[in-house]
Amino acid sequence: MMVALTQMMKRELTLANRRRADLANPLFFFLIVVALFPIGVTPDLAKLSQMAPGVLWVAALLASLLSLDLLFRHDYEDGSLEQMLLSTVPPQLLVLCKIMSHWLVTGLPLTLLSPLLSVMLALPAGSVPLLMLTLALGTLTLSLLGSVGAALTVGLRKGGLLLTILIMPMFVPVIIFGTSAIQSFNNDMPWIAQLAMLGAFTAGSCVFSPWLAVAALNITVGD
């Protein structure tokens, strides 16, 4: 089993490296949205620091959503996906590998970039570690939940919009708990509960998403 999974991980990461343009896209989107915010809304630091958690979160999620459509698309088009579904190892684990590598090449870089951008929005420096932690969990949850939507829409030629509509409702609680944890922290209020809820969402989607994604892939491929 380990042989197949290491092969899978290696393949996904090499491919991500060779399709670098796809990866740069979300990062630039994130950078531009956050950079334009102070210019477009207000340069007032007090107001900006109030909005900072929400802006960073929304921008990071939309950026990560950009690349979600491609999660299964290349593999669907060249037929590799069929082979994965027929593999000796459970396809759920292979899909989990794909999701994890998607997070490693989009969610993680976005998380690492966020402290730099938080300076632009005058986020209090003390909450930067919490911002990174919540963003790491949030983007991971998006990759996990998003895989189900990506699996359902991979057969459609223009699935991007539908994917967004499918995923967004599932994602509302995550964004609420994520941003409210940082805001509570900034206002010296208890924030552990929100963080715990966010963690619970990540853990739950980690358990269920691969199964749902494979079920969806079976439907799409079997058509």
Partner 1 sequence: MVELLRAKGLYCERDERVLFDHFDFTVNCGEILHVKGPNGSGKTTLLRRLVGLSWIVEGDLTWHSSLSETGAKLDGHGFWYLAHRPAVTLQQTPLENLAFAIGLHNQKLPEEALWQALEIVGLRGYEDVPAGSLSAGQQRRVSLARLYVAIPNINLWILDEPFTALDVNAVDQLEQRIEAFAEAGGTMIMTSHHGLTHTAVRELHIGASL
CB-nearer residue toward partner 1: 69 or 75: 75
Q: Does the footprint of partner 1 cover residue 157 (CB under 8 A)?
A: no
Residue keyed to tokens 């970039």: 113
* 215/211 Cα distance (integer angstroms): 6
Please check whether residue 33 is in contact with residue 119, taking contact to mean a CB–CB distance below 8 angstroms.
Answer: no
Q: How far is the CB of 78 from partner 1 (least distance, A)?
A: 6
Q: How far is the CB of 17 from partner 1 (least distance, A)?
A: 9
Q: Does the footprint of partner 1 cover residue 77 (CB under 8 A)?
A: yes
Q: Does the footprint of partner 1 cover residue 73 (CB under 8 A)?
A: no
What is the per-residue burial (b if ≥16 Cβ within 10 Å, else e) of 79-115?
A: eebeebeeeebebebbbbbbbbbbbbbbbebbbebbb
Please check whether residue 66 is in contact with residue 145, taking contact to mean a CB–CB distance below 8 angstroms.
Answer: no
Stretch touching partner 1 by CB under 8 A, among 3-11, 27-35, 140-148, 158-166:
3-11
Q: How far is the CB of 95 from partner 1 (least distance, A)?
A: 13
Q: Does the footprint of partner 1 cover residue 175 (CB under 8 A)?
A: no
Q: Give the number of other CB atoms < 10 A from CB of residue 40.
A: 8
Stretch touching partner 1 by CB under 8 A, among 36-44, 77-85, 108-116, 188-196:
77-85
With CB under 8 A as the rule, give the number of residues binding partner 1: 28
**186 Cβ partners below 8 Å, 6+ apart?**
49, 53, 124, 127
What residues make contact with partner 1 under the rule CB under 8 A? 1, 3-4, 7-8, 11, 14-15, 18-19, 74-75, 77-80, 82-89, 94, 221-223
